[in-house]
Structure formats: C-alpha cells, structure tokens
Chains A and B, each alone.
Chain A
Amino acid sequence: AQKVTQAQTEISVVEKEDVTLDCVYETRDTTYYLFWYKQPPSGELVFLIRRNSFDEQNEISGRYSWNFQKSTSSFNFTITASQVVDSAVYFCALTPNAGGTSYGKLTFGQGTILTVHP
C-alpha cells in the first residue's frame, strides 16, 4: 500500500514571506513518481511538477522550488516571496512506476491550505 502525508493542514503567511509545504510518503515500490498539484479557490486542479524517484535533484521554477530526499521519503515544496495569488490548496501525490504493486493508482495527501495575506 502507498500513503502520502501532508501534516500541515493549514498555513497562513504574510505576502513576501517564504513558505515550505511538507510531504512525506510511504511506498513499497522501488520506482515511483511524485507530483504536486495546486487547487486555487476556483476549484480546478493545476499540475505543478512531476519527479521520478531516480532523480533526486532539486528543482527550481521561478519562485517555486522542490526538495526531494529519498532517504527521508520527503518531497517538500517551497514558495519564495509568497504572493496573494499563491493562496490555494496544495496536494502532494504518489504513483508507482509501471510494474509496481499498484500501477495506475494515484494516491494524494490530505492537502495543505495556504493563505497568503497582503
């Protein structure tokens, strides 16, 4: 079975602060993919990033960065200089690679509600 835990239910920051959203996962598969999705107040789900378990390089995209550490089973997401438009629910998700024990299943964390105040 696979599991994703986002321990932070809600985070509140003031604009321009940096904020890190935590994601910890459990899986018996040796190869897998991790994702982050954003759900703004309008409700749609927006894909942010995909990370292969083989690739532990950190990634930066503008104000967003991701830290993947296989040793601690974590895939944390940092927003630098947060803005009001970053206010959303953020989900971390996990799926095994082809041949994995539950290929095709995508498991989401509970989500973290981020509120950025002006």
Chain B
Amino acid sequence: EAQVTQNPRYLITVTGKKLTVTCSQNMNHEYMSWYRQDPGLGLRQIYYSMNVEVTDKGDVPEGYKVSRKEKRNFPLILESPSPNQTSLYFCASRASGGPYEQYFGPGTRLTVT
C-alpha cells in the first residue's frame, strides 16, 4: 500500500531535549516536505527536499533541522525544542516533474512542556 508513515504519532517532551520525528514513504517520490499545523494559521511549510541531499527552507524553518540521506526518509530534528514548537506536524511526499498533489502522513502531535 502506497503510504507516508510518521513516528511517533504522539510525543510529549520537555524543553531542550533533542528529538527526531521520522518520516518514510514507499512511493519512490523525489520530493518530501514537513509542515506544522496550528489553529488559525493553517499548515505552514518548515522544510522541503527536492531529492537526496537537496533541502531548502520553507516558511518557518527556525528551530528545525532536516536531512535527506536516502530517498525514502526525511527526518525532522528539533535540537532544542521549546514550547512554541508544540504543534501538529505533517510529512508529505510527491512525485517530481511537476507540482502534483502531495501525499500526507498521518501527523505527529508534539507537546513541549
């Protein structure tokens, strides 16, 4: 089954404790992206990657890191999480060659206390 998976689905952590949210897709998509969803703000793009080893900032990259060492994986790293990073996070992927629709993972709800 074609899908985007994220882990963990729920995470409660404390300020400053480094964490990684994993994202994996099995559709051989070149393009992957991370978003955060906050009430009243919709979804905002954090980082995106056009292909392996090619990443770029979205609209809200501060406080986040990403890496793309393999085509299928695109982890999101919070080196020193803060309470304002409490949010619902989505990973997405799509095929290259055009801005086709993106396939989204199920979401990760992160709470930073």
Contact = CB atoms under 8 A, between A and B. Distances in A.
Interface of A: 4, 6, 9, 32-33, 35, 43-45, 47, 50, 91, 93, 95-98, 103-111
Contacts, number: 55
Contact of A105 (B59, B88, B107): B59
Contact of A110 (B31, B42, B48, B101): B42
Given A50-B100, A104-B31, A43 B107 contact: yes
Interface in B64-101: 88, 90, 92, 98-101
Give the dominant DSSP class at B's interface: strand
B59 to A, nearest CB: 7
Interface of B: 31, 33, 35, 40-45, 48, 50, 56, 58-59, 88, 90, 92, 98-104, 106-107
Residue of A4, A45, A50 ringed by the most chain B CB atoms within 10 A: A45
A50 B58 contact: no
Nearest to B100: A50
Contacts of B41: 110
A56 to B, nearest CB: 18
A9 to B, nearest CB: 8
Residue of B41, B42, B104 ringed by the most chain A CB atoms within 10 A: B42
A61 B90 CA distance: 27
